[in-house]
Amino acid sequence: MAPPLLTDRAQLARQRARAAGRPAWFLHEEALREVQERLAEVNRSFTRPALITGAPAVWGPAFPGARIVADADPLDLAGGAHDLVVDALTLHWADDPVGRIVQARRALMPDGLYLGVLFGGRSLHELRASLAEAETRLTGGIGPRVLPMGEIRDLGALLQRAGLALPVADSVSLTLSYETAFHLMRDLRAMGEGNALAGRRRTPPPRALFAEAARIYAEAFGTPDGRVPATVEMIFLTGWAPDPSQPRALRPGSARHRLADALGTVEQSAGEKAGR
């Protein structure tokens, strides 16, 4: 039996289309700056990039000549065709994140680079807590309203599971400031990041839900100047398509020099240390 779907792809496409009319792309722009900084640290040029994105107006101009790939399943990528694949804030919507990264790896040439950025588990924790408490008070239960997002320790392991070499995962946290929770939710809609969960409730929410959530948000998280913070965590995943030229870890016991010699100390056995 196939696992339940996380994302309603049709709804996500509608949200992104609406957002394109009056977009708020500032988080995409911040993610793009971080990606460019990481690529600048790589001592090589990429001539055949591919870009997986739901916001091509932001990302496309930064990668002239890149193949723009829609956020769909499966990805429209040819095997071994690219020396760089950038997944630009789409991976958190993937029903099968490992499968998504595997598709990207297969599209890479040997020693090609995969660089993915997605929202991490600390993102919007204030909003999630406030919505959950408000809905519990009003209805006695909780409906899926905010996308579940992974933790960096789990997301980093996806790179190895997908068969990428030299995996690295790191994160950047931002704290945004809003007048009210309604202003935050407006920006989420303008980024196409509203509720596109396949399991979301299809009936209208109680009329008081969002007002109560905004009140709880301000009460629990409000700052002295009367505004509310919103945490955004962006996780960056980097890995390379395997190639014989890449460095490999030595086998245990294969070192030719002792650490004690390098440090100028006397090596002791475990028994000698215990007897002291």
Say if residues 212 and 48 touch (Cβ distance below 8 Å): no
Lowest pLDDT segment from 32-46, 88-102, 157-171, 191-205: 191-205
- The Cα 79–Cα 82 span in angstroms is 8
Residue 49 near residue 80, CB atoms below 8 Å: no
pLDDT confidence of residue 119: 96
Residues 163 and 238: their CA atoms lie apart, in Å, by 12
**What percentage of the chain carries pLDDT values higher than 90?**
71
What domains can you pick out in the chain, each with its CATH number? 9-275 (3.40.50.150)
Token couple for 47: 């001539």
**Residue among 45, 51, 57, 86 at smallest CA distance from 239:** 86
Give CA–CA dist 49/113, Å, rounded.
Answer: 9
β pairing state of 108-119 and 165-178: unpaired
> What's the residue count for the chain?
276
* Tokens linked to 211: 């007002």
Taking residues 122-149, report their average pLDDT.
89
Residue 108 backbone phi and psi in degrees, to 5: -90, 145
Residues near 106 by beta carbon (within 8 Å), at least 6 away in sequence: 77, 79, 80
Give, as one character, the DSSP assignment of residue 126: H
pTM for the whole structure: 0.85
Given a cut of 60, whether residue 276 has pLDDT beyond it is no
Model confidence at 28, in pLDDT bands (50, 70, 90)? very high
What single DSSP character describes residue 7?
B
Question: Which residues does 234 contact at the CB level (< 8 Å), separation at least 6?
Answer: 27, 30, 31, 34, 117, 118, 119, 120, 171, 172, 173, 174
Q: Are 75 and 104 in contact (CB under 8 A)?
A: yes
* pLDDT of the residue at 43: 87
C-alpha to C-alpha distance for 229 and 48, rounded to whole angstroms: 40
